Chain A
């Protein structure tokens, strides 16, 4: 077991890659009452086309299968996993994103036992035709719930306007039609391919002893056998640089229109250094211009084009990435025109040393604040790790960034062919 201490942020992490391929991270935090465990696979809604384990032909699976599988792992032949955790004083949950499916719990007692329950329920699938059918009603209601949420429709609408071929444009939960065709065999195929320990990681943070925890996990894994893992073959269609549609207009009953501008990032995979730099600078730059103190925010605010629903976000993944800037607005045309102008004007902007130093301070403070949360650390540590990046070494990386770095980033940050607009309005 490797032990690494980071004095400046007062964290110690233990890690090990087990014989079956599973990566385990343990972060003891004895000052906390609780522990948080998350067991995740690098498998999400974008993994639509792949070669199943032990086969040679590529297949396509129905939209929404990763999310469906997440629901069904909680149900066993004779019992429901929610009840198992409930008996041990823990609260379990799970989520499916574009790139990840994760199972998690938090608890303040029986931590070890709860970790074992977490591993076991994810590693012992039981799917029956009857229970698959039953789940369709539940997931249909989940999809209908999202259908009524303008914020979600606006988010997915922006994604769809940016991406032409990449499966990120598929709704994570699928559609009521696509999930109707899902069978228990689809679930087993996806399960065996993507839930191999080699493709998974376990992160436990909180109040526990790392030695006994690692022993328990190791001996649990030794008792189980898995097929030999070949290289996972996933297929992603080629994605152009340009956005799929410049404008996506959606009609649904809303009292105030919503408008979002999407900035599409290149789908070309980057080295880990380049990825980290792009990830950090991307979020710092958008926040510089569009956070409440930022110049662009102020212009939008003063022209009455936004209200307090205004937001921006960036998300950079291995083979896709995007940023969004959006708001409720009475005047979506003016809003989008203004934001586009602002974005295009950045090509000529040069930041000063003083400004960039404040941006770095802000980023460091944000990171420290996020690290109050075990959930943030566990999630972010795992996703950075899969890129070869160490979350606990990021503060010095931020400090190292120079004003030249940010200015050369800004130069190529925006180009018109990578901008799209999504509008939601009642007519």
Chain B
């Protein structure tokens, strides 16, 4: 399993990762651009992906650009932004058919890398800014995106929970940015920021698939060059904050189903020794259909269709999600609290512990079968600043003891209970 770790080297201000695999019929090339989460830059970073995917210098219109992708046997480009702990990451991904599976084709890889390079380094620029019509149009696209979160109640509840829980912390920042900042932004501002970002962000590049490494490396390093002179210093200290008194926030909207989301401080991040124990805790508590939350909230009490939990690895958070009838709020909240206490009291068997560890290892191996999953997992280690081979990861999980889980559980503090519920009181049905 160690072979998939691949090679890593730093060239031209790029961290290059080559991963050879015969599992796939495609080749993936992915760039990850990383900068600290900041209010001043988040809206620009949210808008840039929309602009970059509209076209390049040589393929300035979206249709010319798309025709080029179609010619490369329907290559797929995606560009998006996301949070990992208190970092903002822009991901540019190009996936294209491996020419080995298409008779009489031998230039797809070469063309694809050139195109990938253009998307990043040669956008469609006019004098001191991006194409003005694209800039305006994509501002509208992002504005609608910011507003549309209202219509996805699960995401909305999640965002609101983090708003309340992480007030005044960078992690609170909304991944799509802010409408008022978008309105103030000029094309020039954005282009200046882009130029800065493309040189200054930490940039990791992954190539995954069945390809000739030497040729690809030469191709990439001859085209992509940056002078990353002053590398950003990341605040490696844990973005922890003790929970203090738990708060309860209730918000009302015209909804059929209430969303009960609870946020906790785990006080454990990816780099920590007890990170593995936290993963096992989450598996027992709410990560699987065999976990306490699913069994107790759903199966035993019939209160919800979904009830689960998820760990945020870089900031040290844990979230519980469930969709319930508005009148069941207190009951569901109390049942969830009982499960946390049960975990702290070690109310789980050795068998359950072993099964949970097996499930986590299984999930991890499955992730490694998936091209995007594999790259995300490797990048997690870059952000978390801790290198682990696949075997070390598996060992780490396997070695977790019941005591370790109880110890990790003891660090977990409830921070905020957030309820999005129907208008007219919680007893209206």
| B95 on interface, CB distance cutoff 8 Å | yes
Residues of B within 8 A of A255 (CB): 147-148, 150-151
Binds A, one of B34-42, B70-78, B236-244: B70-78
* Docked complex Cα distance between A328 and B146 (Å): 13
- Whether the pair A89, B355 counts as a contact (CB closer than 8 A) is yes
Known interface pairs A109-B358, A145-B323, A358-B70. Does A294 touch B63 (Cβ–Cβ under 8 Å)?
Answer: yes
CB distance from B78 to the nearest CB of A (A): 11
- Whether the pair A91, B288 counts as a contact (CB closer than 8 A) is yes
- Whether the pair A147, B256 counts as a contact (CB closer than 8 A) is yes
Residues of B within 8 A of A359 (CB): 70
A-B CB proximity, top 9 nearest: A293-B66, A365-B73, A365-B74, A137-B302, A362-B74, A89-B358, A86-B290, A142-B305, A144-B257
Q: Which residues of chain A from 282 to 330 have a CB within 8 Å of any chain B CB?
A: 291-295, 298, 301-302, 304, 307-309, 328
Q: Which residues of chain A from 139 to 157 have a CB within 8 Å of any chain B CB?
A: 139-142, 144-145, 147-150
- Whether the pair A145, B257 counts as a contact (CB closer than 8 A) is yes
Residues of B within 8 A of A144 (CB): 256-257, 323, 325
- Whether the pair B148, A364 counts as a contact (CB closer than 8 A) is no
Q: How many residues of A contact B (CB 8 A)?
A: 68
Q: How many residues of B contact A (CB 8 A)?
A: 74
| B298 partner, pick from A136, A138, A302, beta carbons under 8 A | A138
- Whether the pair B137, A301 counts as a contact (CB closer than 8 A) is yes
- Whether the pair A109, B362 counts as a contact (CB closer than 8 A) is yes
Known interface pairs A253-B253, A307-B144. Does A368 touch B63 (Cβ–Cβ under 8 Å)?
Answer: no
Residues of B within 8 A of A91 (CB): 288-289, 359, 362-363
| B141 on interface, CB distance cutoff 8 Å | yes
- Whether the pair B323, A254 counts as a contact (CB closer than 8 A) is no
Known interface pairs A141-B325, A368-B25, A368-B97. Does A148 touch B153 (Cβ–Cβ under 8 Å)?
Answer: yes
Q: How many A-B residue pairs have CB under 8 A?
A: 189
* Docked complex Cα distance between A34 and B21 (Å): 15
Residues of B within 8 A of A9 (CB): 25, 101
CB distance from A311 to the nearest CB of B (A): 13
* Docked complex Cα distance between A255 and B67 (Å): 34
- Whether the pair A254, B151 counts as a contact (CB closer than 8 A) is yes
| A2 on interface, CB distance cutoff 8 Å | no
Residues of B within 8 A of A87 (CB): 351, 355
Most B Cβ at <10 Å: residue of A34, A106, A291, A365: A365
* Docked complex Cα distance between A365 and B73 (Å): 5
- Whether the pair B366, A256 counts as a contact (CB closer than 8 A) is no
- Whether the pair A33, B368 counts as a contact (CB closer than 8 A) is yes
| A225 on interface, CB distance cutoff 8 Å | no
CB distance from A23 to the nearest CB of B (A): 25
| B96 partner, pick from A136, A365, A371, beta carbons under 8 A | A365
* Docked complex Cα distance between A374 and B362 (Å): 16
* Docked complex Cα distance between A371 and B21 (Å): 15
- Whether the pair B371, A372 counts as a contact (CB closer than 8 A) is yes
Residues of A within 8 A of B288 (CB): 82, 86, 91
CB distance from A411 to the nearest CB of B (A): 23
Known interface pairs A33-B368, A34-B365, A368-B73. Does A145 touch B305 (Cβ–Cβ under 8 Å)?
Answer: yes
CB distance from A276 to the nearest CB of B (A): 19
Q: Which residues of chain B from 351 to 381 have a CB within 8 Å of any chain A CB?
A: 351, 355-356, 358-359, 361-363, 365-366, 368-371
Known interface pairs A107-B362, A307-B141. Does A291 touch B66 (Cβ–Cβ under 8 Å)?
Answer: yes
Q: Which residue of chain A has its CB nearest to the CB of B100?
A: A10
Interchain residue pairs with CB less than 8 A apart (28):
A10-B25, A29-B23, A31-B21, A33-B368, A34-B365, A34-B369, A82-B290, A86-B288, A89-B355, A91-B289, A91-B363, A134-B302, A137-B303, A140-B325, A141-B325, A254-B150, A255-B150, A256-B144, A292-B62, A301-B137, A307-B148, A308-B50, A308-B141, A358-B70, A365-B74, A366-B74, A369-B95, A371-B25
